[in-house]
Structures are given as structure tokens and as C-alpha cells.
Structure 1
Amino acid sequence: MSRALLECWQVHEFAPGLYPERRDPKDDRLDRFLGRLLGRWAQAGSPLRLHRLRRFAARVQALEEAFLAADDERLRSRALAVRAALAVQGPAEALVAECFALVREVCSRQLGPRHYPVQLMGGYAMLRGALAEMQTGEGKTLTAVLPAVTVALAGAPVHVITVNPYLAARDAQYLAPVYEFFGLRVGLIVPDQEPAQRVAAYAADVTYCVNKDLVFDYLRDRVARKRVRGGQRALLDGWLAGRRSPAQGSAGVLLRGLYFAIVDEADSVLIDEARTPLIISSDVDDPNGRALYEQALALAASLNSKGHYLLRAQERSIELTDAGRAAVGDFACGLPGLWRIPRAREELVEQGLSALYLFQLDRHYIIADDKVQIVDEYTGRVMADRSWERGLHQMIEVKEALATSKRRDTISRITYQRFFRRYLCLAGMSGTATEVAPEMRSVYAMNVLRIPPNRPLARRDLGQRVFLDGDRRWAAVVQRATEMRRAGRAVLIGTRSVAASELASVHLRAAGLAHAVLNARQDQREAQIIADAGQPGRITVATNMAGRGTDILLSPEVRQAGGLHVILSEYHDSARVDRQLFGRAGRQGDPGSYEAIVALDDELFLAHAAALLGWLRGRVSEAGLLPAPLARVLRQSAQAAAERQNSRVRRQTVEMDKRVERSLAFAGRGE
């Protein structure tokens, strides 16, 4: 058993502080390099690891007959004995196997489904601190209950972390009868809860929560207790407050420690969302702010991109050149306030340039209820109550002719990388994680294990078509959707942005095809849209929110006609995200098919393969199609470049977070 898991039971291993958690690692480039090598080695050694998991699953299955014959009272009695043994002995394999067998039997009686052997394998992989990659529809929700019950029975609090409140509430409610059978309490963290409700939810044995809510609560604890990163100061604060043990907790604290976490859709949470730190800020009145932002935007619009600033669209950054700084200085001559401070006015104009050229309506944000609402680029969902910092949000509000909100000053901040590495044991599950296995290992010390499907995959790959331009692409998408609809199948069309989903809708309407659109504007109707997406002739257009975490259930007629057909209309920066969309089809051995219909002028190619495009345009056929071998090379090279860039941004985010944290700590406002 892994040392990380054992630490959940060894209280003396906890780092000193507000409550039990692991020390913040001090890794450097060599550590990250070695971590990536270990990640690749773990992938290469996965057949041996899978053999161990299969052996464990067989051990669990061998107990099935005995538990089938036992009544509920006998099962409860056995569960109490296992609970006592786990608390004393820790996660010995024989005890864990018995616990898994009990959970399996209880799930069958309380919920109906019985865990498949591959689910037992996935649960054991997570118990050992790994990320289990399981195909869409393989039952990750039911798999997670295996390690969650085991760790909770041993006395360690468990956090099951997912990507949105709907999934957290759904899973907590669905699995509640199982936890209750074992005498375990289930907590649920959702937005807008009162502090007392949150404290009660975190005090439960197993707490279901959303990643952002959890991290913000962690930061609130740090702000409330004025904890600094130095361990001695934290211990002194605790002693002065009359707290002798880090496990006792104290008034004003929400969480009670970072023991064991299971992260659902782990690649989305730990990789895709790790580019942006989470920040707690305070509102600051700024009566003269609008005039200042209007001046900055006007000046930014007048600057020349060839001489006044450097635009790095891939890194989403803009930097003034010497000529640009001189132009800003000339403009500021005689102006009051921030215009008199060189660095302040330059940052102000750089934020104005960012608002104009880096953040786009219906891609990075939408306007709803006369407010700028940030859209999560990786899930397509609105990020409620979130705002950009350092005046950028207000700049965009001025750009869109909206009322300006109050400016926010940073009080505390942390990145996902730094937060999740503080868990004593971190595990995860996802349908797509193999591509980021080296980064998972180097950053989170978590190996990725690909769990085989319960049934062989039956979905068909219809290949990719790369057209010369967007018009030809949309014509091909409409034609394919029409064919599939006539055949009685269901169709899912995936897009990268809100704007692209609405453009697809325009083309479908022009062709007289009824359809549903799922993007940040309809996120409240997500469950209903996904519930209907498997009906005959149904066409659904979606950003990559596409019901992630839920299955598109096929009607018998659609299954007989060939299942769901998925059309990817634009490649994403990562092939992993494309695979997420393709995974909507062919769940649990269902029939299905998928294909990519894209264009040379798509964002991925323009941003990461611009040098190739001119040469490739001359090799397009008369039908406007790029030959398949060239299309494959184009996609692979563009996505590889995008992945390298995104990985650099994530590393830079961590380094920036550490620098800002040091400055906040110096000012007495650190986490």
C-alpha cells in the first residue's frame, strides 16, 4: 500500500498548521523532470499494475457468495467489525477486499447495480492514490463509493470533488442510502450555503463538493485565522487560541483537514482549470474609476500593434514596448492620479489592450442580465460570481457599455496545483487522462492507470475531414446531421465556444433541422437537454460542457439504428478534450460513431500551426478537402504545440502564485 494512503491513518505525519495537511512541496525543475519520467515509466508498467488490480478484484469477487447469503443485520455486524479493524490496522489488503465486497453487496441491495470487476479495479487504484482512467459510461460514480466508504470507515474525512453543483448533489443523493447503511454521514457543499451549513457538511464522514467551492473555503479558513505559511507562527497562533491539537478544529474554521480526496473529472480540475489561480478579494469603491478605464481603453485602441506593444495570443499576454511606454507617458502628461505613476499607468493600458484584443464576447465571457459573466473555456459553463482582477473586469464592462462593478483587491490566492498537493492522499478518476500522465505525476505525484472497459467498445471512427474554410465545414456538418437524422439516429455536434455553437445553430436552422443548443446561456437546462439527446432524430449542439459527468442514454430505437453520432466541428488544444467529446458515443458497449469535420481557418491551426497553413492551402483538393495524411500531421503538430504552451502557462501560474503569496505574506495578508 502506498505511503500517501498510510499517512491518512498516521496523525504524527501531519504537517503543523491550522488542520492536518501535507507540507507544500518545494519542487524545482529537476523534480518536475524526474516526475515526468516517472509518469511515463508508470504508463509503461501499467500491464503489471493491472495484473495486481485484477488479482485484487478476484479476491473481492470470491467473497460474493458469502455476502449474498447474509441478511442486512449480518452485513451491518460485519461492517462494524471491518470498521474497527481498519481503524487499528490501516488499509491491509485483506481488510480492504472485505470492505469492497461489503460495499458491493450493499450497493446491489440499496441501488440495484452490482459493481463490475473493472469498477473494483478502478476503486482499488484510487484507494492507492492513483488516477483511474475509465471510459465514459463505465460507472465512475459507483466506483468512487468503494474507496470513499473504506477510508471513511477507517476514520479519515473524505472529500469527493466534482466539477459542478448538479453532479455533486446528484451523486450525494444517489449514494446516501449506501453511506447510511454503514453508519456514515454524507455532507454536500453547494453555493450560497450559510457558514453553519458548510461547517456541518465538512464535519460529515464523506463530503461531496465542487472544486472551486472547496478551494475558496480553504482560503477563507486561511483569511479567518490569519495563517502564514511558516509552521511555527501557525502553531503559536493555535496555542494562543487555546488549541492544543491540530485535529480539534476551532471556531470560524470550515474544513477539518485535507485527508483523502477523490477528484472526479480529474484532468479537467487538475490540468485544464489549473491555468488560473483562485483569488479571494475585497470590493473597493472607485468613484473615478470609469473615467480612468475609458481613458485607458481609448489610449489602448490608438496604439499600433507593430510598434507599441507585443501581443502573445497563445500566452494571453500583452506587453508594451519602449515606444509604447513612451506613448503612454506622453498621453499621461498633465493628468492626475494613477497617470502620474509610470508602472501603474502602463499596467492600466496593458489591461485595456487585453480587454480589447485578448478577451472576446461569447468565447471568454457572455453578457447576461446586463452583467459580464465569465465563461469557463474548458467546460463551457458560466463561472458565477467570478471576476477578473486588477481592473480587467471593469475594462471589459466599459468596452461593452455596461455599468462598472466595484474594483477588487486581492486578499488571498492559491493555485489548484498548490492546493491539491496538500492532501495527505489524492486520487482521481476521468475518462481521459493518459495524455497528461507525465504532468499528473510530476505535479501531483499521482500515477494514471487506464482501466479496461467492462464491455468491448463498439463505436466506429469515421475519420476526419479538414476543409479549406468554415463555410464548407458547416455545409458538411449539416449534410451529415441530415443523413443521421433520416437514419433515426441521434446526433451531437461539439463546438469550442458559445459563438461557434450559435453559428452552428444558424446553419442548422437554415437547413430546416430542429435542434437543441447547450452552452453557457442554457446551462440551467443542461440536465433536460442531455436527457433528450439520445432520442431518434435528435440533434444537439453543445460546447464541451456537453453533459460531462452524465451519460446520454439511448432510446431502443436509436440503439437499433446505430446509436449516437458525434461530430467534432473544431479541434481543441488537447486531443484529450476531443476524446472526451468522442466518448459521448458508444458507452458500455453501445453502438455509436464519431468523426471530425473542421476547417483550415479554425482557431487551433491559426494559433499553433500558422507557418504550415500557407503551404497546406495549395494542396487542398478541388472539393476543398485536405488529404488525410496531411490533415493528421496538421492536427498532431498544432495540438502538440498548444499542449506545450499550456503546460508552460501552468508552470508560470504556479511560480507567479508563489511570488504573489510572498508579497501578500509580507503585507500580513497571505493565505
Structure 2
Amino acid sequence: MHEILLPSPGLTLGHYPERPVSERSVLERLAHGAVGWVRQRRYGRISGLDRFVAEVNRHEADVAPLASPALEEKLRGVRFDLVRHGLRDDVVARAFALIREVSRRTLGLRHFDVQVMGGWLMLNGLIAEMETGEGKTLTATLPACTAALAGVPVHIVTVNDYLVKRDANWAEPLCRALGLTVGAITQELDGPARQQAYACDITYCTSNQLVFDYLKDRLTLGRSYSRLQLQMERLGRERERDKALLLRGLCYAIVDEADSVFIDEARTPLIISQEKSALDEQRLYQEALELAGGLQEGQDFMLMERARTVELTPYGKTRVAERAASLGGIWRGKRRQRELVVQALSALHLFVRDRHYIIADGKVQIVDEFTGRVMADRSWERGLHQLIEAKEGCALTSRKETLAKISYQQFFRRYLRLAGMTGTAKEVAGELWAVYGLNVVRVPTHRPIRRVAHPVRVFPTAPEKWQAIVERIAEIHARGRPVLVGTRSVAASEHLSGLLIARKLPHQVLNARQDAHEADLIAAAGERGSIVVATNMAGRGTDIKLAAGVVELGGLHVIATEIHESGRIDRQLFGRGARQGDPGSYEMLLALDDELVRVYGRALLRKLVARSLRANDARPARWLMRSAQDAAEKSHSRIRRGMLKMDEQRRNLLAFSGTSE
């Protein structure tokens, strides 16, 4: 890289720098696609980085023998050159060598050559696809610390608060030795503490906390915000808005589990809202639920489970109008009555307790379907959340009105420099380039992978599947190997737990309802004979260390009890075992009435496949599973494209009216 202009706040880029986003024309999209193809050809061959790695190794040999004072002098020189010359490869090689040596002295960890390659890729605005267990957290310190030494504010974005705290605490000794500060943004931080964390050289945060804080800044800046105006205020005495800002702009972000953040979570916009006063909403929502409860599926309404939507039939619309006529008030308007009933039908039929949400402390709390974690600060829109509260008999929260709204696609495209790392990006490489301008480059493993895949087993019904899972757990447990069992929901994890209790098999459960001792549970998951039943909480970012003697037994065995809507999530679960050259194995035990197959697989095909299973031929069943998963991924891709298009249209309308988000 040969850049002198650094992506940092200042006179050139302004006090709150970010990239302007504009909609591309058809020709621009074609040109963008061609550029992506050329870049992929250029960066797709990692062998071209051997020269850079050799340069880092040469500089490391020079600094390794130095005493601390001499090393600090070298560090001051590198810092000066980074600010003066920018992120040039020759200066970056010296920085990487110093960070590597300081890491060895403070953390006891030296970056492998493949991690140096991954660090260079991320510093150059690419996605490094690194196999699970290859040390992405350590790899990220190379580009993050190098950019921070150059004066660039760095955001390291990860998928949950647990990883934010863990990674920030872990990296702090290294950063402190380099003269850098580290902040961690978690849900409980108040405004001043958040400002202090964002003022650090490197800030660890989750994607949703980061986006919400950005939206708060947009509200603080106001609709008439301009970079020049903010710069003038900063130079003058009127600095109230400047002092209220949380972030220092969108300079450089390294996104961990990039495919999860950029792809899986991109179907839901992030919204800042405020409470909206309403009269007697309890009665209104109860009426909506009672009215919806009297309607019949197929006759009055159709459920579209793939899109998670409900549509009233013409007959259903007539029935709703007839039944609403006697209610009066807001029910007189046809549009409003239909909207209320459709939302009530969604609450009754599409949102399931202990799968999509849990009840905790008398409140409805959304469970993230990709991470398995509670999203305590999130709620559904347009009265759906209140309808679910009424369905469950919980106290109603006030409805919200939207103050600011943005999608992940629009937000992350505003970074001056964006990079990422993940173990599962190849399937969505095209979308990552088309939306974010990010190429994916595969990084080789440090050691050969010793992960053994067992054949997929498919059963006609869920009870047969669960019984086979219990037998398989007992078999592996008897050998002394630790077992990790992945489930898709809180309900499924607790159902399996009940079966294991009946079988007198000692185990631990990790889900959105039982997460208080997550760190301790994960620490013990690699012990001899351990059994852990977990939702997706034990997926991305979970590093299970094997206890003494477990390697000789074959390492961790992972069992998947359902396929996910993306094969990437399945691969993340399997990646909890056989990490960094350790042995391990995985298998999938599935049923034809699993949710994904029921929603995305045709009923007639399921019947035909069930016959083949009875004839001891599992091949059609495996094909059906892959077909259902492929259909789910295509459906979600269409939803993301549609949301991005709507986002761009909305922005164009706001621009036409002279306003912004």
C-alpha cells in the first residue's frame, strides 16, 4: 500500500470523517463488478505476500534481541514514520515486526506467518478468510495496532458483549506496551463512559451498539449537518454539539465474523425510537388478538413462513371488516384494522416462545436467531412487540416512533476503510463485493486440519432423531471425549436437556435463558467427559481448550441437531472442534420434520423421501436437506437486496426534500 492520506479526523477529512454513499447507476454497477473480478484475481493468490512476510521476519530478527528501552526507541521511530509516510508496506513491515515482538513479550504469543498475511490483508481493506481456530483475535492486533500507531481511530467490531469484554481485556496488555489505549463498548455503559471508550485508540464493540451510537450522533448533529459547519463550530466557541458526540467518525473498522455482521444481520434495519403516547392500548391489542384468533388459516389468511409474513384472503378481509364494525374507534378504518389483524396473526402464528423470544423478568426479550443471545435493547416494530406481550400476558411497553433508521449495508459502506475476518465467507464473496466493495482472500492454515466428518444421519421424525442423539452422546461420553451439541433454539436445548437428565447423563446447558456463567462453562467444555448442550451462543468466537489427555482420546466431538438457514452457521459450529491442529470430529443428526425442511422443503418431496428412509436409502434425504438450505439462503439474499434497494430509494427521497436520515 502506498497511501499518505490516513483515514483519520483532521483538517483534510473533517472532525467526523465518513464516506459519502451514493446509489450506483447500471453502468457503475457493471464497472464495479468488473473491478471486483480484477481485484479478486490480484489478491486471490496469497503467495504474493511471501515477500512481505519475509520482510517482517527480517525486521523481527533485528528487534528481538533489543532491551526494552531500545525497543521503545524503535517504536517511536515507527510511529513517526507511519504518521509521516502513511501505511506504506515498508513501514508497515517494521510495525508488524515490533507488534509481533511486543506480543511475544506481553502475551506470550508470537504471530504465525499466516497471521501476518491475514493482518496485511485487513490493513489493505480486504476480508481475510481464516479457518476457525487459527487465531483471528491475535491476527487483528497487527492491523489494528498499526493503524492506531498512525493516529487512525480503530473500531474492532464483534458479535456480542461477551467477546467485546473478553477480547478487549486480552489485548489491553499488548496495546498498553505499545503506548495505545483500549476501550470496550457494552450495553451497560452510559454516555460519558461511551465517549471515553470511543476516544481510545482502539475500541472493541458490537455492531448494533456501534450503529445505535452512530444514529445518536446523527440526531445530535441534526438534519442540516455539514462537515464544514462542524469544523467551524469546533474552531469557534459553540462546541455543544461537538461535546455531545460519541464517535470520532467512521475511520477504520475491522469486523470479526464478517459474514455474520455483513450478511446474516443485514436483513434487519437498526432503529432509534422514542415512546409514543397512546390511549388504552391494552384493550386494542386484546381485541386484535381475539379477532385474529377467530380466523382460520387457508380460508381467512395465508401464512408465508419463508418470508415470515401473513396475508389476508379476500374472504378474510370481509370477515375482519364485519367483526370490526361492532368495535368502533380505530377499528372503523379498513387499512388500520387489517394492519392490526395481520400483526396479531403474526404474533400468534409466526413468533414462537423460546425460539424467537423468551420471557425474562416478566418481559418479552428477543433472541437473535444467529447468535442465540438475548437482544435486550431491541423490540419489534408497528405494534408487533406489544401484541406478543399481550399474547404472553406481560405488561405492555409503550409503542415507539422512529427517530432515525439505517441498515447495516448503508452504515458500513460509510467507513473510510473497512476490513473483516471470518472462517466462512466464500459462499457470499460476490455479495460482499457488490454491497461493501470487499474482496475475500483465503489464508492458509498454520497446521493441517484434523477434523473428521461423520456421515449425515436423517430420521423420519423428531422423536426418533432426539433418541438417536441421546444414544450418540452416551456412546461418545463413555469414551471420555467431550461433546458439544448444537441446537437452534432455547426450547430445543431444554428438551434435549430433559432427555439427558432422564438418561442420567451429567451435562451443562448454555442458552439465552442460562448465560450467567458462560465463560466458566466454555472453559470446562473441553474437559474429559464433558457434555454441553448449547444454542448458537457456543458458535462464533467460542474457543474451547482441550484438557490434558483429551487429544489422545480424539478431541472434541460436535453434534448438530438441525441444519441452519445458512451452511456457514453449520460450519461455524463444526469449527468449535479440531482447532489449531488438534483432532476432533462432527456429525449431523436431522429429521424430516425439522423446521427448515418443513418451511423450505415441499411436502410431497418429504413424503417420498420418508419412503426412501424406510428403505434404508438416506441419499434423497440428504439432498432434500441441502435443497431446503439452499432455498433459505436464496430467500434471505432476496430480502437483503430488497432492503438495500428500499434504503437507497428512501435516501434519495430524503435528499430530494433536502434532509438526511
The two structures share one fold, judged by TM-score above 0.5: yes
**1:641 corresponding residue in structure 2:** 631
Is contact 2:8-2:153 (8 Å) kept?
Answer: no
Tell whether 2:20 aligns with 1:19: no
Q: CA deviation at 1:53?
A: 2.4
Q: Distance in 1 between matches of 2:42 and 2:595?
A: 37
Q: Distance in 2 between matches of 1:417 and 1:133?
A: 20
Flag the 1:258–1:249 CA change in 2: closer, same or farther, 3 A.
farther
Aligned amino acid, residue 84 of structure 1: F
Is contact 1:661-1:670 (8 Å) kept?
Answer: yes
Is contact 1:136-1:587 (8 Å) kept?
Answer: yes
* Pairs within 5 Å for 1:92-111: 92-111=88-107
* Pairs within 5 Å for 1:132-281: 132-227=128-223, 234-235=226-227, 238=230, 241=233, 250-281=242-273
* 1:15-45 deviation per Cα after TM superposition (whole angstroms, max 9, x unaligned): x8x7200012313677667766766776666
Q: Distance in 2 between matches of 1:195 and 1:563?
A: 45
Q: Distance in 1 between matches of 2:529 and 2:363?
A: 36
| 3-state DSSP of counterpart to 1:25 | coil
Flag the 1:89–1:366 CA change in 2: closer, same or farther, 3 A.
same
Q: Distance in 2 between matches of 1:595 and 1:8?
A: 45
Q: CA deviation at 1:337?
A: 3.2
Q: Distance in 1 between matches of 2:656 and 2:189?
A: 32
Tell whether 2:622 aligns with 1:632: yes
Aligned amino acid, residue 585 of structure 2: S
| 3-state DSSP of counterpart to 2:226 | helix
Q: Distance in 1 between matches of 2:50 and 2:500?
A: 47
**2:493 corresponding residue in structure 1:** 501
Q: What percentage of aligned pairs have identical amino acids?
A: 50
Q: CA deviation at 1:454?
A: 0.8
Q: CA deviation at 1:244?
A: 7.7
Q: Tell me which moved more, 660-669 or 413-422.
A: 660-669
Aligned amino acid, residue 606 of structure 2: L
Flag the 1:303–1:30 CA change in 2: closer, same or farther, 3 A.
farther
Q: CA deviation at 1:152?
A: 1.0
Q: CA deviation at 1:525?
A: 1.8
Q: Distance in 2 between matches of 1:589 and 1:638?
A: 33
Tell whether 2:641 aligns with 1:651: yes
Q: 1:549 aligns with which of 506, 524, 541?
A: 541
**2:510 corresponding residue in structure 1:** 518
**1:362 corresponding residue in structure 2:** 354
* 1:613-649 deviation per Cα after TM superposition (whole angstroms, max 9, x unaligned): 1221221135xx542x323322322111111001111
* Pairs within 5 Å for 1:403-442: 403-442=395-434
Aligned amino acid, residue 176 of structure 1: E
Aligned amino acid, residue 23 of structure 1: P
Q: Distance in 2 between matches of 1:426 and 1:526?
A: 31
Tell whether 2:542 aligns with 1:535: no
Is contact 1:605-1:638 (8 Å) kept?
Answer: yes
Q: CA deviation at 1:54?
A: 2.8
Q: 2:342 aligns with which of 341, 346, 350?
A: 350
**1:68 corresponding residue in structure 2:** 64
Q: Distance in 2 between matches of 1:185 and 1:399?
A: 48
Aligned amino acid, residue 212 of structure 1: N
Aligned amino acid, residue 614 of structure 1: K
Q: 2:554 aligns with which of 554, 559, 562?
A: 562
Q: CA deviation at 1:47?
A: 5.0
Q: Distance in 1 between matches of 2:264 and 2:580?
A: 26
Q: CA deviation at 1:239?
A: 7.1
Q: How many residues align?
A: 660
Tell whether 2:47 aligns with 1:54: no
Is contact 2:9-2:16 (8 Å) kept?
Answer: no
Q: Tell me which moved more, 288-297 or 60-69.
A: 60-69
Q: CA deviation at 1:8?
A: 1.7
Q: Distance in 1 between matches of 2:576 and 2:78?
A: 38
* 1:191-227 deviation per Cα after TM superposition (whole angstroms, max 9, x unaligned): 2222111112111111111111111100001112213
Is contact 1:199-1:253 (8 Å) kept?
Answer: yes
Q: TM-score, normalised by structure 2?
A: 0.94
Q: 1:340 aligns with which of 332, 341, 358?
A: 332
* 1:220-266 deviation per Cα after TM superposition (whole angstroms, max 9, x unaligned): 011122135xxxx5357537856689x99812111111000001111
Is contact 1:35-1:443 (8 Å) kept?
Answer: no
**1:305 corresponding residue in structure 2:** 297
Q: Distance in 2 between matches of 1:613 and 1:336?
A: 46
| 3-state DSSP of counterpart to 2:513 | helix
Q: Distance in 1 between matches of 2:480 and 2:130?
A: 29
Tell whether 2:583 aligns with 1:597: no
- Identify unmatched segments of 5+ residues in structure 2: none
